[in-house]
C-alpha cells in the first residue's frame, strides 16, 4: 500500500537518524530529500530507489514548495512508498505540517517520523545545554526568517527579552542585526551571552561565542553563514567548560579514502569518529569471477592441502561464498592448517568459527613467508585463495623453499570508473587535508584519474599503510607524510590522527 513518510533526518550526524527512519529509507520506492539532510543517509536507500533532490539553499529553490507537494502526491497516487527526508524534525520549522495538509487533502496516507531537531543537538555538540537549573528552566524555538507574505511579525520581542528562557533562532544569520536590535530594544542586556553554531553535529561543525550586542560584527568577521543556529542566554557561558565535539583532532579536515566501498567502512568510521569529513573515492572494486568453476573444483580437493593461506578478508569472504554455495561449512577445513596475513583476515576467519594457526608479527607477504618457513612449510601443499591480480612474493618465495603452491583466484579487482571532478574541486578549494592509501593498487588507479600535480598544488598530505605502498607512492613523486606504524587499518587511522594533533601544536583544537 502506498504511503508518504515524513522523516526527520536529524541535524546531520548520521548517527542521530532514528532506527525507524532508517528502516523506512531501506524499504522506500522513492526518496525525496532536502538540502539539510546529509547525503550519507541515501546509502540506506534501496539501490533501485528513485531519488529526488528538492533542497532550498539561500533562496535558491530546486523546487518551490507547491511543486514538492505535487511530487509527493503524484508519487503516492502512483502506488509508491515515499520517504520524504527532511533535515531536523519535520514539524519544527520544516514545513512538514504544510506537506501533511496537502497529503490529507489529496487523500494520500501519510506518517510522521520525528527527528532530532538541530535546536537541541547543535548546541549540545557545541557544549551548550539549552536548559540548566542555574540559568533557566525554559527554552523558546524561534524562526529567524518569518513568512514574508505575513502582514506583520508575530514575534513578541518583549516576551522573549524578559522571559529568562534560552532563545534558539533558526535561520537567523542573515537577520542577526534585526534580531539583536529588537531583543535589546525590548530590554535584554547587550552583554547577554550569545552563540552561533554552524553545520551543527556534522564534520563541518563550528561555533562562535560573543555577546548579544557584538554578535553581528563578530559573525561577519568570522564569516558565519547559513545554515547556523543563533542561541541566546546564560547557558552559552558553559560552552568552554562543556565543549567536547570541537576537541576532535580531525574536525573539519577532509580525508579521501581510496579503499573499495566493500572495505572502506572501518577506516571511514575510525576517521569520522575523530571529526574527519571523509570522501570515499574507491580506486578499485571487488568483482565476482566470471567463472567460479575452478574455485568449486579446488574446494572439492581441499583435503589434499596441508595449508590454506588467506591474504585478505575479501579472500575469506569470497572463498566462503563458494563453500556456502556447495552446502559446506568450516568442517571442510578439518586437518588443514590456516594462515592469515593480518588481523582483519584473522577476524574474518574467526567470524566463520576458524582460528588462524599462524599470524605474522608484520602484516606483509615477506613476514608470512619467514614465519611459515620457520614452521616447516617446505614440502607442504599450500593453497592461496586471493585476488586474480596480486603481489607474487608469497607464492614465489614459498615455492623456492620447496612448497607445492596453488594460487587460486577467488575474486577480481577492477578500477572504478568514477568522475574525479568532485574530489579535484574539493582539493582545489582547500577542503582536503589527507589522501589515504591502503595498498599499492589504489595508488596506481587513483593517479590514473587524478594528476599528482593536483595534490601537490593543493598541498594535500598522503598517508599510507606501510613501506610497500610508500614505495609505489614514490613512483609518482611523493614521499608519504604519514606511514602507519603497523600495517593495519586502525594503525593507519591512528597515524593520521597523530599527524593532525602534531600539526595543531600537540593539542587537539
The answer on pLDDT for 60 being more than 80 is: no
On the question of pLDDT at 116 being above 90, the answer is yes
CB 117 within 8 A of CB 92: yes
Q: Does residue 387 lie within any of the structural domains? A: yes
Last residue of a domain, one of 96, 115, 134: 115
Same domain assignment for residues 111 and 220: no
Whether cis (ω within 30° of 0) applies to the bond prior to 464 is: no
Examine the domain organization and report whether 10 and 65 are in the same domain: yes
509 is a domain residue:
no
Report the CATH number at residue 27.
3.40.1010.10
State which residues form the domain around 269.
254-283+417-503
**Number of domains into which the chain is organized:** 4
Using the predicted structure, report yes or no on whether residue 466 has a pLDDT greater than 90.
no
Instruction: Answer yes or no: do 349 and 462 share one domain.
Output: no
Query: 360-368, long-range: CB within 8 Å, 24+ apart, which pairs?
Result: 362/486, 362/487, 363/466, 363/486, 363/487, 363/488, 364/466, 364/468, 364/487, 365/311, 365/341, 365/391, 365/393, 365/394, 365/397, 366/393, 366/397, 368/309, 368/311, 368/339, 368/341, 368/394
pLDDT above 70 (res 147): no
As beta bridge partners, residue 439 has: none
Listed residues 245, 268, 298: the one ending a domain: 245
pLDDT of residue 371: 84
Q: Is 357 a catalytic residue?
A: no
pLDDT score recorded for residue 364:
67
Encode pLDDT of 180-223 as tens digits: 999 999 999 999 999 999 999 999 999 999 999 999 999 999 99
Note the pLDDT tens digit of each residue in 365-407. 677 778 888 888 888 999 999 998 887 888 998 998 899 999 9
Task: Quote the pLDDT of residue 509.
Answer: 45
Domain identity same for 411 and 473:
no
* Range with the poorest average pLDDT among 36-50, 64-78, 92-106: 36-50
Kindly state whether residues 68 and 161 are assigned to the same domain. no
Burial of 316 (0-12, 13-18, 19+ CB in 10 A): buried
Give the domain CATH number at 432.
3.40.50.10090
12 and 100 belong to one structural domain:
yes
171 is catalytic: yes
Query: Does 124 share its domain with 74?
Result: no
- The CATH number of the domain holding residue 147 is 3.30.950.10
Condensed to tens digits (0 to 9), the pLDDT of residues 354-365 reads 999 999 877 666
User: Based on the domain organization, do 300 and 342 belong to the same domain?
Assistant: yes
Q: What's the whole-number average pLDDT of the chain? A: 91
Report pLDDT for 508: 47
Q: Provide, rounded to the nearest whole percent, the portion of the chain with pLDDT above 70.
A: 95
Residue of 3, 22, 29, 56 with catalytic role? 56
In a domain, 169, yes or no: yes
pLDDT at 469: 92
Flag whether 329 is in a domain: yes
With a cut of 60, say whether residue 148 has pLDDT above it: no
Q: Of 356, 391, 415, which residue constitutes the final position of a domain? A: 415
> Is residue 295 located within the same domain as residue 399?
yes
- Residue 427 is among the residues annotated as catalytic for this protein: no
Segment 18-46 mean pLDDT: 90
The tens digit of pLDDT for each residue in 435-448 reads 999 888 889 989 99
Q: Mean pLDDT check: name the lowest of 49-53, 247-251, 260-264, 494-498.
A: 260-264
Domain presence at residue 457:
yes
Q: Is residue 25 part of a domain?
A: yes
Contacts with 308 (C-beta within 8 Å, 6 or more apart), sequence order = 302, 333, 336, 337, 338, 339, 382, 383, 384, 385
Q: 171, 174, 184, 412: which one is catalytic?
A: 171
Same domain flag for 137 and 223 = yes
Most confident of 61-65, 403-407, 485-489: 403-407
**Domain presence at residue 493:** yes
Average pLDDT over residues 125-151: 85
Question: Domain check: are 187 and 300 in the same one?
Answer: no
| Shared-domain flag, residues 171 and 188 | yes
Amino acid at each position: 500500500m502506498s504511503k508518504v513518510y515524513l522523516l526527520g533526518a536529524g541535524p546531520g550526524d548520521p548517527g542521530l537518524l532514528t532506527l525507524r527512519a532508517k528502516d523506512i529509507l531501506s524499504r522506500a520506492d522513492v526518496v525525496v530529500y532536502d538540502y539539510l539532510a546529509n547525503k550519507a543517509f541515501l546509502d540506506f536507500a534501496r539501490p533501485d530507489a528513485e531519488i529526488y533532490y528538492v533542497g532550498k539553499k539561500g533562496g535558491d529553490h530546486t523546487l518551490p514548495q507547491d511543486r514538492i507537494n505535487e511530487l509527493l502526491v503524484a508519487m503516492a497516487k502512483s502506488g509508491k512508498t515515499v520517504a520524504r527526508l527532511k533535515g531536523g524534525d519535520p514539524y519544527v520549522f520544516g514545513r512538514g505540517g504544510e506537506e501533511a495538509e496537502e497529503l490529507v487533502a489529496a487523500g494520500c496516507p501519510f506518517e510522521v517520523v520525528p527527528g532530532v531537531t538541530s535546536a537541541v543537538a547543535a548546541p549540545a555538540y557545541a557544549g551548550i545545554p539549552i536548559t540548566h537549573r542555574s540559568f533557566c528552566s525554559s527554552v523558546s524555538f524561534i524562526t529567524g526568517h518569518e513568512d514574508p507574505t505575513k502582514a506583520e511579525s508575530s514575534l513578541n520581542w518583549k516576551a522573549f527579552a524578559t522571559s529568562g528562557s534560552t532563545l534558539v533562532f533558526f535561520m537567523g544569520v542573515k537577520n542577526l542585526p534585526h534580531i539583536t536590535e529588537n531583543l535589546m530594544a525590548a530590554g535584554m542586556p547587550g552583554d547577554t551571552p550569545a552563540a552561533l553554531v554552524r553545520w551543527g553535529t556534522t564534520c563541518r561543525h563550528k561555533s562562535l561565542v560573543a555577546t548579544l550586542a557584538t554578535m553581528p560584527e563578530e559573525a561577519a568577521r568570522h564569516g558565519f553563514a547559513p545554515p547556523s543556529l543563533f542561541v541566546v542566554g546564560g547557558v552559552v557561558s558553559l560552552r568552554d567548560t562543556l565543549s567536547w565535539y570541537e576537541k576532535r583532532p580531525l574536525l573539519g579536515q577532509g580525508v579521501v579514502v581510496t579503499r573499495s566501498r566493500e572495505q572502506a567502512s572501518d577506516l571511514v568510521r575510525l576517521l569520522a569518529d575523530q571529526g574527519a569529513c571523509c570522501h570515499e573515492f574507491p580506486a578499485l572494486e571487488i568483482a565476482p569471477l566470471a567463472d567460479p568453476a575452478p574455485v568449486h573444483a579446488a574446494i572439492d580437493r581441499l583435503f589434499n592441502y596441508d595449508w590454506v593461506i588467506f591474504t585478505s578478508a575479501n579472500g575469506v569472504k569470497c572463498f566462503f561464498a563458494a563453500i556456502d554455495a556447495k552446502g559446506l561449512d568450516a568442517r571442510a577445513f578439518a586437518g588443514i592448517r590456516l594462515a592469515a596475513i593480518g588481523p582483519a583476515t584473522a577476524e574474518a576467519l574467526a567470524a566463520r568459527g576458524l582460528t588462524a594457526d599462524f599470524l605474522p608479527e608484520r602484516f606483509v607477504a615477506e613476514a608470512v613467508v619467514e614465519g611459515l618457513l620457520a614452521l616447516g612449510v617446505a614440502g607442504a601443499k599450500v593453497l592461496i585463495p586471493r585476488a586474480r591480480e596480486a603481489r607474487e612474493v608469497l607464492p614465489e618465495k614459498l615455492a623456492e623453499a620447496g612448497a607445492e603452491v596453488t594460487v587460486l583466484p577467488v575474486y577480481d579487482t577492477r578500477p572504478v570508473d568514477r568522475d574525479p571532478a568532485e574530489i579535484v574541486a574539493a582539493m582545489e578549494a582547500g577542503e582536503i587535508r589527507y589522501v589515504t592509501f591502503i595498498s599499492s593498487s589504489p595508488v596506481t588507479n587513483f593517479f590514473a584519474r587524478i594528476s599528482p600535480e593536483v595534490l601537490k598544488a593543493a598541498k594535500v598530505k598522503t598517508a599510507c599503510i606501510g613501506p610497500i605502498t610508500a614505495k609505489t607512492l614514490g613512483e609518482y613523486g611523493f614521499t608519504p607524510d604519514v606511514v602507519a606504524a603497523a600495517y593495519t587499518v586502525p594503525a593507519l587511522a591512528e597515524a593520521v590522527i597523530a599527524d593532525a594533533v602534531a600539526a595543531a601544536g600537540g593539542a587537539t583544537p
